[in-house]
Amino acid sequence: MVDSLLVYDGSNPAFRAAAATVTCRLSNVRPIRWESKSVQQILEAQFNAHPFVFALIEDETIYVGAATIRRILEEYNAAKPLVETLEGLYPVVSGPFGRVVHGREPADINGSFSLKPAAEKQLVSLRQRQEIPVEATDTENTDSEGDESDSHDMPNENDV
């Protein structure tokens, strides 16, 4: 299964919580911090720079700035007037908000762009869900009396 990625500023706990809240109901969207090395490589490949952006990477498209707001709200089936209002506010509010909260303005990039092949190449490992194998434990073979077999799990002075 291939996931879409929501790129956000992960330097602030409030933004981490917001990203988790936004993505928790969208099973195909995972949050990923702007600060991560992987995101920086993608941005470099896509824009030949490391712009400070709020973005959604979906299929072969990267939505940036106001377009990200639109796309996420569309995923939530938000009413069209709400989508249009918030999309229109983003370019106006993001600069002052960025200066106050982040200490810098987001890059002046808004819109949707086809991913360049070099950026897509950087996404391969990020988009794949990792399956973690789970082994069943034998719950019937528990001994409540405790025996010396448990003692080997604890390090002793010879293990140091």
Is 83 or 102 the better-scoring residue by pLDDT? 83
What is the end-to-end Cα distance of the chain in Å, rounded?
44
pLDDT digits (tens, 9 = 90+) for 45-96: 999 999 999 999 999 999 999 999 999 999 999 999 999 999 999 999 998 9
What is the mean predicted confidence (pLDDT) over 12-30?
86
Burial (Cβ within 10 Å: 0-12, 13-18, ≥19) of residue 112: middle
Give just the sign of the alpha carbon dihedral 67, 68, 73, 74. Answer: positive
Domain ranges of the chain: 4-124
Q: Give the start-end residues of each E strand in the chain.
A: 4-8, 29-33, 55-58, 61-64, 111-114
Helix or strand or coil: residue 106? Answer: coil
What is the mean predicted confidence (pLDDT) over 36-47?
94
Measured CA to CA, the distance from residue 67 to residue 113 in angstroms comes to: 10
